[in-house]
Amino acid sequence: MMNKVCGGSMSVNKRNDQTLEKSERSGRLRPLKLGMMSMLMITVAGCTVTPTPFTKAELATFAADKSQRAIAATQEPVTQSIDLYEAMARALKYNLDHKLELAEVSLRYAEVKDGEFDMLPDLVGRVNWADRSNDPFSNSLQEDGTVSAGQASTSEDIGSYDADLELSWDILDFGLSYYRAQQTADKFLIAEEQRRSTINRVIEDVRTSYWRAVAAQRLLVQVDRLEKSANRALSSATQQLNRGEGDRLEALRYQREMLETIRRAQELRRDLSVAKNQLAALMNLPQGQTFSVVLPDHHHLKTPITALSSEKMTEMALRNRPEMREIAYRLRINESEEDSSLLSLLPSMRGYLGVNYDSNDLLVNNDWTQWGARVSWDLMNIARYPLRKKVVAGQEALLDARALALTQAIATQVYVSNKRFHSLQKEAKVAKRLHEVSDRIYRQARSEFNSGVSSERELVRENLNAILASLRYDATYAQMQGAFANVYAAVGLDAFDGRLTGNESVEDLAASLRKLWRSRGDK
């Protein structure tokens, strides 16, 4: 009976000891748990992102910065009247659309150089540090399942660090990086072609805008004189009507005609006044800056390329147009994608060589050299290959269809641009004759008005007709100049000679452009 009681007492004491031990352990772990929970809450709170819009002050600062930098301080100032070739040179050097394309080209070139490093071996250095609150002692498990009764031991320090420097090279990664580098190089060439397209468009716009600016500078003074004459005649007619002199219906018709003349003069001023603003935008000049353009004589354009047959011009366009070259490069990128898909089916083999160091004092050898090879094979790439092959084939079919559609579009553009240029040449000849005849009639009417034979009404009417005829001639001539540049853009020939670096002076660029375009028939 005593044994049972004692045994029971011993069992109770053992449970009490275990309970006490658990309680002590729980007490020791409670601060740790609280600390971990606090860190978790702080981490979660720190990872919460709230959208923060810019303030009005920040947006104002951003806008002011861009407005100030839109026109660079290093931009060459305008010191004299601008001729056509200087306008073209300034557009090539300072036009922001062209600068955007240059930035795109620079980015793609940097990506090409960056991609070359992907083909090099990896050289990775690592440092690991670890520490703990007590010794990492351990027992051993015997074959019969019991734990060894010997003294616990360890082969690690409480705290230590290790470091290694490993040189490795994956043959599969090298092959894939090679194809990626080729694709990046083709993207650089695509950016170059897009830049060529932008230059051709800018040069075409400059030629048209320049001749419209010439018309504005030549005619705005005449338009102002016409409006003053019409206002003076309108005032005289109104006074005559108020006094009851002459035929009332005829006087009202005369007022209507003068008001119509004033309206047309105001429309002409509105259209002509923005011509220089458009040219200034192409040259990236401040909109408030005043400048003058050289007033050259109109001349007949005869370009050698328009003497070619439409078939020859279309063949030249299909070889040289930036859009066709871009599709050709994209097809080559797609071919590289097909090759890289095949290459990804192979297993990856990485060889490595490294030096290692471990600060653990219990190690016999703290530093050593290690080498070897690792082989891995992602078998999911085999299952994925048919789908990737379909994507590559679909992309090729799309690009081929786009090339065929572009072929027809280019052939049409070549034909239309050539026909439009010749048509505008004929229209310019007729507009020139109309301008000359209208100007002679106006001079005759002015002579008769000064001699008292003709009325002021007739003088104002013929003045308006002369100005309108001159404006139609200038407008038709400006369109012909744009069509002249469009012919060369349609066949894909560059609007400039040589490669632009951005460091050329406006004078040097203008000289190069003058030489090129005069060889094309621009006198």
Per-residue pLDDT tens over the stretch 256-284: 888 888 888 888 888 888 889 999 999 99
Q: What is the DSSP letter of 149?
A: -
Per-residue pLDDT tens over the stretch 44-95: 666 777 888 999 998 999 998 888 888 887 889 999 999 999 999 999 999 9
Pair 285, 291: CB distance under 8 Å: yes
3-state secondary structure at position 143: coil
Of these ranges, 28-42, 177-191, 473-487, the one predicted with the greatest mean pLDDT is: 177-191
Give me the residue label for tokens 């095949």.
342
Q: What is the CATH superfamily name and number for domain 185-339+383-519?
A: Outer membrane efflux proteins (OEP) (1.20.1600.10)
pTM: predicted TM-score of the whole model, two decimal places: 0.79
Largest CA distance in the chain: 157
Pair 202, 95: CB distance under 8 Å: yes
Tell me the domain boundaries of the chain.
185-339+383-519
Per-residue pLDDT tens over the stretch 490-505: 999 888 876 767 678 8
Q: Which two tokens stand for residue 97?
A: 């659309």
Would strands 348-358 and 122-130 be described as parallel, antiparallel, or unpaired?
unpaired
Per-residue pLDDT tens over the stretch 306-354: 778 888 999 999 999 999 999 999 999 999 999 998 888 889 899 999 9
Does residue 406 carry a pLDDT above 80? yes
Q: Work out the percent of the chain whose per-residue pLDDT is above 90.
A: 37
From 515, 66, 475, select the one nearest 275 (Cα to Cα).
475
CB atoms within 10 A of CB 282: 24
